[in-house]
């Protein structure tokens, strides 16, 4: 009869230890406020911009389409708004033929610089022109604001 009880007791003990291990993992994680924002989210914003921006330009839509990615009334917002108007007026289409994130740098104050190697093809009146550029997108990722605030293109 004792032999029958011992195997039953072991699994119960193992389950309790497993539960304790899960609790320990949760306790080891720092509170959210002390953790810097996740760079993956900042990178995702920039990648999404590389997809949505050409779609917005090529369909003749307004900047409202991009407001989920760009901080409203920032320098970048105003610059993109002017570019959209210019592309529409000139009947120009664009496409990123290459868009690769090279580096991500956390600046503090919930801001990241995302360095990108990009090739932008502009087509106007059937003629295409490709610009190879290095761009640094500045992104803010905080509770109140999430989006691109500026870009420096070389």
- Domain-wise residue ranges, the chain: 36-153
pLDDT tens track, the chain, 154 positions: 555 555 555 555 455 555 555 555 455 554 444 566 789 999 999 999 999 999 999 999 999 999 999 999 999 999 999 999 999 999 999 999 999 999 999 999 999 999 999 999 999 999 999 999 999 999 999 988 999 999 999 9
pTM of this prediction? 0.76
Cα–Cα dist 104/111, whole Å = 10
Crossing angle (nearest 10°) for helices 75-89 and 39-58: 20
Q: Which two tokens stand for residue 135?
A: 């761009």
Q: What is the assigned CATH class of domain 36-153?
A: alpha beta
């Amino acid at each position: 009869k004792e032999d029958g009880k011992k195997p039953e007791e072991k699994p119960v003990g193992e389950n309790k230890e497993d539960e304790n291990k899960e609790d320990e993992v949760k306790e080891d994680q720092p509170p959210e406020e002390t953790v810097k924002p996740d760079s993956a989210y900042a990178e995702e914003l920039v990648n999404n911009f590389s997809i949505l921006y050409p779609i917005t330009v090529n369909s003749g839509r307004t900047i409202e389409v991009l407001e989920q990615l760009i901080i409203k009334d920032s320098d970048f917002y105003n610059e993109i708004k002017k570019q959209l108007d210019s592309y529409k007026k000139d009947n120009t289409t664009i496409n990123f033929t290459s868009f690769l994130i090279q580096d991500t740098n956390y600046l503090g104050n919930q801001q990241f610089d995302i360095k990108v190697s990009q090739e932008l093809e502009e087509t106007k009146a059937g003629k295409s022109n490709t610009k190879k550029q290095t761009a640094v997108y500045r992104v803010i990722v905080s509770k109140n604001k999430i989006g691109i605030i500026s870009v420096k293109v070389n």
